Every structure is written in C-alpha cells, then in structure tokens.
Amino acid sequence: MKTSKTKTPKSVLIAGPCVIESLENLRSIATKLQPLANNERLDFYFKASFDKANRTSLESYRGPGLEKGLEMLQIIKEEFGYKILTDVHESYQASAAAKVADILQIPAFLCRQTDLIVEVSQTNAIVNIKKGQFMNPKDMQYSVLKALKTRDKNIQNPTYENALANGVWLCERGSSFGYGNLVVDMRSLKIMREFAPVIFDATHSVQMPG
C-alpha cells in the first residue's frame, strides 16, 4: 500500500525586541533567535520597532527613529537572512518602511485609521492590523476590507481566502476588561479567522495596561 505525505503549513512566529535599542542589541537577540528561525516548521519574522509613538510617558524611550531604525533592520535582514516586521504609526512612514520590512504592522489604537491602512496597503508588504483592545472582533472585518479594497477594488466582502491571497492579517492582543485590565477571549480568534488569517500576540495580551 502506498502512502502519501501531506505537507503541513508552517506556523508563523514573530519574535524580537519591542523597540530598537542599538545595533549590538539587535544582533545579540537575532543570534539567540536563530534556532527558531532555522526550524523548518516555522515561518519566522524578526520584529522590532524604529519608533514607539504610543508610549504612556513623554519621557519614555521611543527608538532611534525612521531612518536610523530602518538602516539597522536592513543590516539584520542582510546578516541573518530574516524576514522583518516593523510597525508604522503615521502614513508617511509606510513607503520607506516597506523597502525593508516584509510585514508592516498597524498598532491596535490605530486599527480604524483609514488613511494609515490605505497607505500601508499600497505597499507590497503584508499588512498586519492589530485589533484594538476596545474593538468587537467582528468589526475588524471593516479594517480588513479597507486594506483589501485598496489592493483589489473588485473585492466586495472580506474572506479568509481573499485576505490570505492579498497579504492582509489580523492580530489579537487582548480586550479591555474594565479599567487597567486585559483579558483574552479566545472566541475572537475564530471570529476574526472568518475574514483574515489571525496572529496571536501572546506577550502584550498578558500585560497590565498603563
């Protein structure tokens, strides 16, 4: 009897520092992540932000900025062969970031910002939209549709297949539960998977806001 082997789809893994601190630090972290990046069962992306524009405090470190940050991410990409994810907070950052990053991430608090979604969707990068902590997971279909219609005006309804084909993802990162608290409703993963591939941000989901 002959048996056939079915190729199992790779699991996407996104890992790296929250924000770029230095090139030395990036290299150190990238080196430690090599066993995961080399795992044949994983589709690995190295994540780091050049600017965290949503810090709670004005005095908090935000990062090296767009130009220097992208230069360092390009070095990591060339030296380690990693695919890159970085987030953008403003529309003007999208085209420059897409020259380096394979995925552009839209922060949770900006998940409904039409101009930002459209600008990011006009690049060739995968679009990863983080679900706002305040959002009904079902309503994220409208953010997905903004991205999809930017890439293909003929699309009328967001579906998992359309989003996968056009490189539009969603990211679950928890939901507000009163003030200063987050919970993860795992039903959100199934709901959002009806109209897009879904990433689970396991680190931010267990943080206490503030």
**Cβ pair 130, 106 in contact under 8 A:** yes
Determine, yes or no, domain membership for 2: no
- Number of domains the chain contains: 2
139-164 tens-digit pLDDT: 999 999 999 999 999 999 999 999 99
Across the range 83-111, mean pLDDT stands at: 98
Same domain for 97 and 161, yes or no, is yes
Residue 28: domain span = 9-87
**Cβ pair 82, 15 in contact under 8 A:** no
* Predicted pLDDT of residue 144: 99
Determine, yes or no, domain membership for 4: no
Q: 3-class DSSP state for residue 151?
A: helix
Residue 201's alpha-carbon distances to 13, 15, 52, 136, 187, in angstroms, are 10, 10, 17, 17, 15
20-58 tens-digit pLDDT: 999 999 999 999 999 999 999 999 999 999 999 888 888
Mean pLDDT across the chain, nearest whole number?
Answer: 94
Q: Look at residues 41, 61, 87 and tell me which one is the last residue of a structural domain.
A: 87
Its pTM stands at 0.93
Q: 3-class DSSP state for residue 123?
A: coil
Q: 3-class DSSP state for residue 77?
A: helix
Determine, yes or no, domain membership for 68: yes
The answer to whether the Cα torsion of 184, 209, 93, 118 is positive or negative is positive
Radius of gyration of the chain (CA): 17
Contacts with 185 (C-beta within 8 Å, 6 or more apart), sequence order: 137, 175
Determine, yes or no, domain membership for 135: yes
Q: What is the CATH number of the domain that holds 156?
A: 3.20.20.70
Same domain for 66 and 111, yes or no, is no
Same domain for 149 and 210, yes or no, is yes
